Amino acid sequence: MTLAAVLLAVSCGQNKPQKALVLYYSQTGTTKAVADAIQTALGADAEEIVALTPYDGDFGATIARCQEEMAQGILPEVEPLKADLSQYDVIFLGYPIWFGTYAPPVKAFLNTIDLNGKKVVPFCTFGSGGLDSSVKHLAEKFPKAEILPGYGVRTARADSIPAEVDHFLKESGFVAGEYFKAEPFGEAHAVSEEEAAIFDTAVGDYPMISAKAVEVAVRTVENGTEYFFTAENTGGVPGSIIKVYVLAEEGKDPVFTQVLR
Ligand SMILES: Cc1cc2nc3c(=O)[nH]c(=O)nc-3n(C[C@H](O)[C@H](O)[C@H](O)COP(=O)(O)O)c2cc1C
C-alpha cells in the first residue's frame, strides 16, 4: 500500500483502504493536468477516456463538430473501460466543460459504465464555468452514486492546479495534512466603488462576460480575499443575473475563478 493509500484509509476512518481510480477525458491537456496531480497525490490508478475519432481540431472545428453531432442526436464512440470498476471504491471523474456540461465523449463513456454505489469525485476544467450543471447531470445519470464535493478550475488559471488540488484533497479528507480553512462568505452587501473596480478588473478582458456588479459577499482565503459577486448582464440577456467568484491574491491582479449562470 502506498503512503497516500494508507493516509486515505486513515483519513476516512476505515480499516479497509479506499482504492481510487482517476478516469478523465482531456482534449487539450488542462483536465489531464488535474488528473495527473490527483493521481500522483493519491498513488491512484488512472485511465484516459478516448474517443475513437479524436476531437483533434482547433476550438472552432470542435465546436462545429459538436454542433453537428448534437443536431443529429449522436454521441461519439469511445473506447471501452479497461479497468475493473469493482476493484475501486472512489472514482475521480474528470472532464472539460463543453456546452455547459461534461464533454460529449464523457457523456458517451458514462453510457458504458455504472457508477451507482460508487463514491464519485467530479473534477473539471472550463473557460468560465463551472462544475454545477455537470454534477447535476451526473446525479441524474447515477442516482445511487454518492457524489462528493468536486473541484473545478479555469483553463486560464492552470498554473494554480498543483496548489489547489493539494488543498482540495486535504480539505476533502483524501490526503492528510494541514491546509487553510477559509471561513464561509459574510453577508452580501451592495458593492462599493472599490469592489466594483475589482469585479471589472477580474472580468475585464473576458469576451463572454459583460456585466455590472451589484452585490458582493467577501471572505478571507489563504493568500488574499475571495469575492462572490452578483452581477447584472449588460450583454447577452440584459438584466439577467450571473454570479461570479473572484480571487484577489496579494501582489496579483484580481481574477475570476468561476461563473454561475
Ligand atoms: C467544444 C467546446 C465547448 C466548450 N464549452 C464551454 C462551456 O460551455 N463553458 C466553459 O466555461 N468552457 C467551455 N469550453 C472551454 C473548455 O472547457 C476548456 O478549454 C477546458 O479547460 C479544456 O479542457 P482540456 O484541456 O482538458 O481539453 C469549451 C471548449 C470546447 C472545445
Task: Assign 145 to helix, strand or coil.
Answer: coil
Q: How far apart are CA 248 and CA 245, in angstroms?
A: 10
From the CA of 26, give the closest atom in ligand 1: 26
Q: Which of 98, 99, 132 to mutate to test the pocket of ligand 1 (most atoms within 8 A of CB)?
A: 98
Please give the distance, rounded to the nearest whole angstrom, from the Cα atom of residue 221 to the centre of ligand 1.
27
pLDDT of residue 17: 61
User: Which residues have CB under 6 Å of ligand 1?
Assistant: 26-32, 59, 62-63, 66, 96-100, 125-129, 155
Please give the distance, rounded to the nearest whole angstrom, from the Cα atom of residue 158 to the centre of ligand 1.
13
pLDDT of residue 257: 97
Q: How far apart are CA 31 and CA 25, in angstroms?
A: 7
Q: How far apart are CA 219 and CA 246, in angstroms?
A: 11
**For a pLDDT cut of 70, what percent of the chain falls above it?**
93
Which strands make up the sheet holding 211-221, listed edge to edge?
A: 189-190, 211-221, 224-233, 241-249, 255-260
pLDDT of residue 18: 81
What beta strand segments (E) does 28-179 contain? 45-48, 90-98, 101-102, 119-126, 146-147, 151-154
Q: How far apart are CA 241 and CA 249, in angstroms?
A: 26
Q: How far apart are CA 23 and CA 215, in angstroms?
A: 38
Please give the distance, rounded to the nearest whole angstrom, from the Cα atom of residue 64 to the centre of ligand 1.
13
List pLDDT tens digits, range 139-168. Answer: 999 999 999 999 999 999 999 999 999 999
Please give the distance, rounded to the nearest whole angstrom, from the Cα atom of residue 237 to the centre of ligand 1.
22
Residues of the chain with pLDDT below 70 are: 1-17
Atom 6 (ligand 1) nearest CA: 98
Phi-psi region of 188 (alpha: psi -120 to 50; beta: other; left: phi over 0): beta
List pLDDT tens digits, range 180-208. Answer: 999 999 999 999 999 999 999 999 888 88
pLDDT of residue 57: 96
Give which of 234, 255, 259 is closest to 244, Cα–Cα. Answer: 259
